[in-house]
Amino acid sequence: MKKSILALIMITTISSLSFGEDIKSKTGEFPKKEMKSQNKEIVRMVVEEISSTLPQVVDKYTTFTNITNEGLTLVYTYEINTGVKSDKAVIKDSKERMQRIVKKGVCQTSNRFLDSQINISYAYINAITKAPLYRFDITQKDCIGVE
């Protein structure tokens, strides 16, 4: 639990940074090249910091096991203990519900990342077989109208 709180504090701290304020042009816009470079560094720092706190048990079925980046996308990987359920059954029973929950959570807590063109992905895999179950890629556009 303490590790989860530390990770959330780190995300909040980094996401509250004023992205690129020192490189604003006279028009009030950030030069895209500099902003992209700065965002890559932010993503690298987030991955490094959170990785040091893993794995983290989320609940009795789920463990947060890895965070990586794919360019300007943070990829959070969770392992799910599916018990005796088949992967197909897990996908059928929970994919849509999980997608709504994840999307709402990311849109509420990670808007500074998304506003800065840093995307978020949540990947879920079977804890035993390591087979992929589902992945949710979330961009700023996905959060329009989400409450």
Q: List the chain pLDDT tens, one digit each, 147 residues.
A: 444 444 444 554 444 444 444 444 455 555 666 778 899 999 999 999 999 999 999 999 999 999 999 999 999 999 999 999 999 999 999 999 999 999 999 999 998 999 999 999 999 999 999 999 999 999 999 999 887
Find the CATH number of the domain harbouring 91.
Answer: 3.30.300.250
**Rounded to whole angstroms, what are the CA distances from 31 to 18, 25, 98?**
14, 7, 37
Residue numbers of the domain that contains 62: 2-143
Global confidence as pTM: 0.78
Structural domains counted in the chain: 1
Strand partners for 134: 124
